[in-house]
Amino acid sequence: MDLLRNRNFLLLTLSRNISRFGDRFTLAALLILVVQISHGSPVDIALIGAAALAPSALLGWFIGPLVDRLERRTSMIFADLIRFVAVGAMFFAPNLISLMVLAFLANGVWEFYRAAYQAVLPVVVGTGDQLTRAHGLDQSLANGIDVIGYALVGLFILVAGVRPAFLIDAATFLASALLIRSFAVRVQAPGRTIGPGYLAELKTGMKAVSGQRLPRTLLSQIAIACLPIGAFNALLVLLLPDVFHVSATLYPYLPAVQGVSMVLGGMLLTRYPSRVSRRHLINIGLAGSGVITALLGVVPSFVTALGLYFVLGFFNIAFLVPLLSWYQQSFESEVRGRAMAIYAAATSLSLLVATLVAGPVAAAIGVGRAVFFSGIVFAAVGVAGYLTAATRIQADPAVEASAP
């Protein structure tokens, strides 16, 4: 495959995925630690999730012009080094407030990395099917990392305890920074160092997204879908003791099982990127994910939940890869950093709102019922997607990329 001979792509995706491996340790450790500190309070779980999402939701709209001006490799290295410090400090955090502050900082600088990564990927691999293949391969690697990472973190926490997991993640950020530093060429952002001004560039990015019907529709669809996704993610760790009647320490094995199916799904999209229309993949993926999510709110068996989570991975990959690549290639390189920052901010804002609402709702009606209703909303987004006119145009990738 041509992608595997592309040195810059390999360095880019290895950087992203080695830090993702470490993130599995922090995510699992953070959730389990909060459950231990708060004794399973849905509101406290929602608060720590909100602290992680707030930087992107509140600040992500404004970092796009900076990403489009800075050399993108520099943005990614900067983010890795700050995350090294913030996540390492979680090892010493004495209470929930300090964990929230450090999570806010770590995820705030992550937005620079994410926007720069998404902006530079089409430059490194090209557009059209090649970009879809890159996303498929990247998702396969990422979810393979999830399988390994979640399986190992489950064992690691049982043997070494919760807090040392933060140190594993901190070390991966240093490795990621070294990989980005090894790029064969500097990936210079196309934006001018001296331009029309920050506010003007911010407005240009907003107009680039709002002025095109296709990316505007795709962004609206994923932002609405992120409402039930956010509620589900916020409550997942509480499903184990409340619905499945097992220990919360078994949490890592659910996403590990999901990762296996997402690896397989990503491989299929890498090999056959254009066999099924993007519109069908996106809407079927959203609707199917919603049905599985609803079932997870009512099944009483952890073993059954593992099987459902395996199926969920296929539906997740079905909508994530085509939606992101279709949106991404709708923009010219000089505004792509701003467009991707807006994408991240809009989805994170939806996730933040859902996370804040999920805790009180679950406390009022129960965790299982809250997850069930979030799944119903999720499925409805996929069904409603077939009513949108902008995604009905199915042509070759070049036509899709320029569709109004």
Domains of the chain are 2-402 (1.20.1250.20)
pLDDT of residue 264: 85
Burial code of 31-60, b = ≥16 C-beta within 10 A, e = fewer?
A: bbbbbebeebbbebbbbbbbbbbbbbbebb
What's residue 108's pLDDT? Answer: 83
In angstroms, rounded to a whole number, what is the distance separating the alpha carbons of residues 248 and 240? 6
Task: Give CA 96 to chain center in angstroms.
Answer: 24
Query: Smallest Cα–Cα separation from 37: which of 95, 103, 101, 104?
Result: 95
Q: What mean pLDDT value characterizes the chain?
A: 83
Neighbours of 127 (CB within 10 A): 19
Q: What are phi and psi of 93, to 5 degrees?
A: -60, 125
pLDDT at 398 over 50: no
The whole-number pLDDT of residue 289 equals: 96
pLDDT at 272: 66
pLDDT of 64 > 80? The answer is no
Q: Which residue has the tokens 């690549």?
A: 325
Closest CA to 48 of 235, 289, 201, 202: 235
Better-predicted residue by pLDDT, 20 or 90: 90
What are phi and psi for residue 90, nearest 5 degrees?
Answer: -65, -25
Q: Residues 274, 400: contact at Cβ < 8 Å?
A: no
Q: What share of the chain in percent tops pLDDT 70?
A: 91
Amino acid (1-letter code) at residue 343: Y
Could you tell me the pLDDT band of residue 175, with boundaries at 50, 70 and 90? very high
pLDDT at 401 (0 to 100): 38
Q: What is the pLDDT of residue 186?
A: 58
Does 194 have pLDDT greater than 60? no
pLDDT beyond 70 at 214: yes
Rounded to the nearest 5 percent, the helix, strand and coil shares of the chain are 85, 0, 15
Contact 360, 43 (CB under 8 A): yes
Question: Cα Rg for the chain, rounded, in angstroms?
Answer: 20
Q: How far apart are CA 88 and CA 104, in angstroms?
A: 14
Is the pLDDT at 143 greater than 70, yes or no? yes
pLDDT score for 302: 92
CA–CA separation, 248 and 125 (whole Å): 41
Packing angle, helices 278-296 and 213-239, rounded to 10: 20
The pLDDT value recorded for residue 42 is: 74
**Over residues 31-43, mean pLDDT:** 76
Confidence (pTM): 0.71
User: Is 84 a residue whose pLDDT tops 80?
Assistant: yes
Report CA dihedral (140, 146, 149, 153) to the nearest 10 degrees: -170
Burial zone of 151 (CB within 10 Å; 0-12 exposed, 13-18 middle, 19+ buried): middle
Q: Which of 161-170, 245-254, 339-348, 390-399 has the lowest mean pLDDT?
A: 390-399
Question: For 288-335, what is each residue's pLDDT tens digit?
Answer: 999 999 999 999 899 999 999 999 999 999 998 889 888 988 888 778
308 close to 296: Cβ distance less than 8 angstroms = yes
Per-residue pLDDT for 403 more than 80?
no
* Confidence (pLDDT) at 185: 56
Mean pLDDT of all residues in 181-188: 66
Which of these, 103, 113, 87, lies nearest to 25 by C-alpha position?
87
State how far the Cα of 59 lies from the Cα of 221, in Å rounded to an integer: 21
CA dihedral 267, 271, 274, 277 (to 10 degrees): -30
Eight-state DSSP code of residue 248 = G
**Most trustworthy range by pLDDT among 6-15, 46-55, 98-107, 125-134:** 98-107
Helix (H, G, I), strand (E, B) or coil at 328: helix
pLDDT band at residue 85 using 50, 70 and 90 as cut-offs: very high
Grade residue 32 by pLDDT with cuts at 50, 70 and 90: confident
- pLDDT for the residue 321: 85
Instruction: State the Cα–Cα distance between residues 128 and 132, nearest whole angstrom.
Output: 7
